[in-house]
């Protein structure tokens, strides 16, 4: 869902999609069709959930305080639940209106701007608000997130009155920051991810952004209006102030999510568990095989080496010479995932076991071949081919069931401030990756995680990106995305999925640590892998 679509620049591109593969965050994508969200419990004719009306969420705060990060993170969570949400970045409208390669007037960001700059700002603001109304009134939208500075109390009051005339509740989220280290990190992240600074040198981008911040500071008014609904996040979630936000279940759910959110940067890594002597069973809690123990050592060494290399790169780019952020490891309670973490635990890393991260239950399909499943359950196979995400085989779980089960893990993932390595079954990694990269329910069952790769999620304020890290010297039989057996989803004979996946097609070689787009591939995924 991209606000650029409404600007003249993209007026002739109604099918525009920012994403080229599941390695690029889809939080700003335009959906090709309406469909159930990964953790959506039910649908309605209007498209609105929880007996809640329409809400306009407006951000408040100086630049580099985490407003865009909060907007994107909140939209990610709400869309995961099925709440029809769209982000309206005012900066997108500015870039689209000015056009590619053109600069805004020099005084555009200053309060005492020239008349021509004020007219341009009002034109951009009018277009953005018209699109918010259109989304909420004509597209059955439920939550519009208006990402802008909104610095003045009078302007915020006027905005709330304007939307109230259309029976739309207004909730403000202020990002306030007094910690200089957080501001410095936010400036660096914006410099890296913001479309404003593509092609800029690091020094020029930082200098320009700090100039914007200094222009706003003398004229900014923090939120103190008792009649308005607002949440004030102080120092990236260290403290929250909530005022007058009890106007429905959805508003309370938003506040609850913000209580779990922080905007400090940290990396998330996904890795498969090592192999066991009984790979085909989800019921037998088998220990790691000798190959599995060797994999655990190689995976741990590869991750440790990669983190140190990334720290050195940051120093070379002008970052401060600080120690690495602590790394926490999450596993399920299954023996194979716990034993895969033992090598890193022996080096002093903290390991936590999470019972909710158990693999998808295959039910009656346990240990059954695809041929036998098709013979004994032809109707179930047909249902599965029609909807591989929501369908469940007899006495089994669907991916939707797994996504609902993992919601507490998702909230704790948002709370985690250390770097995080998640060692889990492939089905769990699919769902958690799907959340962080805003994959659709159609994408998730097709994601693939070969054992010779660690997947790194690189967070940024505007969108996340994924990188794969090659684990060298593993035997070829361990590298396949999944062992042979039951295929979920079960494709028609000879079918190729239309979705690029996370990982490498069987038999190919993964280059060492790179951003990638994956070509079409056959799905060979087993719930017991």
Dihedral, 35, 44, 30, 422 alpha carbons, nearest 10:
-60
Burial of 261-274, coded b for 16+ CB within 10 Å and e otherwise, reads bbbbbbbbbbbbbb
Per-residue pLDDT of 476-489, as tens digits, reads 888 765 433 233 33
Whose CA is closest to 390, among 338, 445, 460, 325? 445
Q: Is the pLDDT of residue 497 over 50?
A: no
Mean pLDDT, the chain, integer: 81
**Tally of CB atoms within 10 A around 130:** 11
Residue 357 has pLDDT above 60, yes or no: yes
User: Where do we find the tokens 């329409």?
Assistant: 54
List phi, psi (to 5°) of 483.
Answer: -70, 165
The two structure tokens encoding residue 167 = 């029976």
Query: Could you tell me what percent of the chain has a pLDDT over 70?
Result: 81
- Calpha distance 491→504 (Å, rounded): 19
Q: What one-character-per-residue DSSP string does 449-516 give?
A: --TTEEEEEE--SS--EEEEEE--S--HHHHSSS-SS--SS-PPTT---SS--SS--TT----SSB--
What phi and psi values does residue 461 have, to the nearest 5 degrees?
Answer: -65, -35
Question: Which one from 147, 294, 443, 452 is the annotated catalytic residue?
Answer: 147
Residue 330 has a pLDDT of 98
Q: What is the pLDDT of residues 221-265, one digit of tens each?
A: 999 999 999 999 998 888 999 998 877 889 999 999 999 998 777
Alpha-carbon span 465 to 471, nearest angstrom: 20
Query: CB 210: neighbour CB atoms within 10 A?
Result: 15
Strand pairing of 327-331 and 350-353? parallel
Average pLDDT over residues 462-486: 75
User: Given this model, what pLDDT does residue 429 score?
Assistant: 96
Read off the DSSP letter of residue 242.
E
Cβ neighbours for 441, distance < 8 A, ≥ 6 positions apart: 35, 36, 37, 38, 389, 390, 399, 400
Q: pTM to 2 decimals? A: 0.83
Band (28; pLDDT cuts 50, 70, 90): confident
147 is catalytic: yes
Instruction: Please give the residue that has the higher pLDDT: either 6 or 436.
Output: 436
pLDDT band (50, 70, 90) for residue 313: confident
| Residue 465, pLDDT score | 85
User: What interhelical angle do 202-216 and 180-193 show, nearest 10?
Assistant: 120
Which range among 189-198, 310-319, 450-459 shows the weakest confidence by mean pLDDT?
A: 189-198
Q: Does residue 265 contact residue 74 with C-beta atoms inside 8 Å?
A: no
CA atoms within 13 A on the CB side of 105: 15
Q: Is the pLDDT of residue 161 over 90?
A: yes
pLDDT given for residue 103 in this prediction: 77
Residue 445 pLDDT:
92
Instruction: Kindly give the pairing relationship between strand 268-272 and strand 453-458.
Output: antiparallel
Report residue 44's pLDDT band, with 50, 70 and 90 as the boundaries: confident
pLDDT-derived band at 193 (thresholds 50, 70, 90) equals low
**Lowest pLDDT segment from 91-95, 330-334, 495-499:** 495-499
- Dist. CA 424–CA 429, nearest whole Å: 6
Enter the tokens of residue 54: 């329409």
pLDDT band at 420 (very low <50, low <70, confident <90, very high): very high
Indicate the range of 61-65, 76-80, 192-196 predicted with least confidence.
192-196
Compute φ and ψ for 424, nearest 5 degrees: -160, 175
Per-residue pLDDT at 367 exceeds 90: no
Q: Smallest Cα–Cα separation from 31: which of 46, 48, 47, 14? A: 14
Q: Are 239 and 174 in contact (CB under 8 A)?
A: no
Burial of 321 (0-12, 13-18, 19+ CB in 10 A): exposed
CA separation for the pair 217, 61 (Å, rounded):
10
Q: What is the pLDDT of residue 8?
A: 36
pLDDT at 316 over 90: no
% the chain with pLDDT above 90: 50
Q: Which of 268-277, 316-325, 511-520 has the lowest mean pLDDT?
A: 511-520
Tell the burial category of 77 from Cβ atoms under 10 Å away from its Cβ (0-12, 13-18, 19+): buried
Greater pLDDT, 239 or 198: 239
Instruction: Give the residue among 163, 160, 144, 164 at the shortest CA–CA distance from 152.
Output: 160
Q: Which residues pair with 457 in a beta bridge?
A: 268, 466
């Amino acid at each position: 869902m991209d606000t650029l679509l409404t600007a003249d620049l993209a007026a002739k591109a109604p099918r525009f999609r920012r994403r080229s593969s599941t390695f690029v965050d889809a939080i700003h994508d335009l959906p090709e069709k309406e469909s159930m969200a990964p953790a959506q419990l039910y649908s309605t004719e209007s498209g609105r959930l929880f007996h809640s009306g329409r809400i306009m969420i407006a951000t408040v705060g100086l630049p580099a305080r985490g407003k865009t990060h909060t907007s994107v993170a909140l939209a990610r969570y709400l869309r995961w639940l099925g709440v029809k949400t769209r982000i309206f970045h005012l900066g997108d409208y500015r870039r689209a209106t000015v056009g590619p390669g053109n600069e805004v007037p020099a005084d555009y960001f200053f309060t005492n701007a020239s008349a021509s700059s004020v007219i341009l700002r009002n034109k951009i603001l009018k277009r953005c608000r018209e699109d918010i109304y259109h989304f909420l009134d004509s597209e059955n939208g439920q939550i519009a997130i208006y990402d802008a500075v909104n610095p003045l109390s009078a302007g915020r009051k006027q905005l709330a009155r304007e939307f109230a005339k259309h029976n739309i509740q207004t909730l403000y989220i202020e990002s306030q920051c007094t910690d200089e280290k957080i501001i410095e990190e936010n400036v660096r992240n914006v410099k890296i991810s913001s479309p404003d600074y593509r092609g800029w040198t690091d020094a020029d981008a930082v200098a320009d952004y700090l100039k914007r911040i200094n222009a706003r500071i003398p004229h900014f008014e923090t939120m103190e209006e008792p009649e308005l609904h607002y949440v004030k996040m102080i120092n990236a979630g260290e403290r929250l102030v909530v005022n007058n936000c009890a106007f429905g279940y959805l508003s309370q759910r938003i506040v609850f999510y913000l209580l779990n959110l922080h905007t400090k940067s940290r990396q998330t890594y996904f890795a498969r568990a090592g192999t066991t002597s009984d790979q085909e069973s989800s019921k037998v809690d088998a220990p790691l095989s000798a190959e599995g123990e060797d994999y655990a050592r190689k995976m741990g060494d590869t991750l440790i080496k990669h983190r140190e290399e990334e720290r050195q790169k940051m120093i070379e780019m002008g970052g401060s010479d600080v120690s690495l952020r602590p790394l926490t490891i999450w596993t399920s309670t299954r023996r194979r995932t716990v034993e895969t973490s033992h090598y890193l635990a022996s080096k002093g890393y903290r390991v936590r076991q999470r019972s909710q991260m158990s693999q998808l239950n295959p039910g009656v399909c346990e240990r059954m071949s695809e041929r036998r499943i098709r013979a004994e359950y032809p109707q179930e196979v047909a249902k599965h081919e029609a909807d591989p995400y929501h369908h469940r085989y007899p006495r089994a779980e669907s991916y939707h069931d797994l996504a609902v089960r993992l919601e507490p893990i998702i909230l704790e993932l948002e709370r985690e401030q250390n770097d995080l390595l998640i060692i889990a079954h492939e089905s769990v990694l699919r769902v958690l990756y799907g959340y962080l990269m805003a994959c659709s329910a159609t994408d998730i069952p097709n994601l693939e995680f070969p054992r010779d790769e660690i997947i790194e999620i690189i967070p940024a304020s505007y969108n996340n990106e994924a990188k794969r890290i090659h684990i060298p010297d593993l035997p070829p039989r361990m590298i396949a995305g999944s062992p042979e057996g039951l295929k979920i989803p079960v494709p028609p004979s000879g079918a190729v999925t239309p979705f690029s996946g996370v990982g490498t097609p069987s038999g190919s070689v993964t280059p060492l640590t790179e951003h990638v787009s994956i070509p079409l591939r056959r799905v060979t995924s087993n719930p017991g892998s």
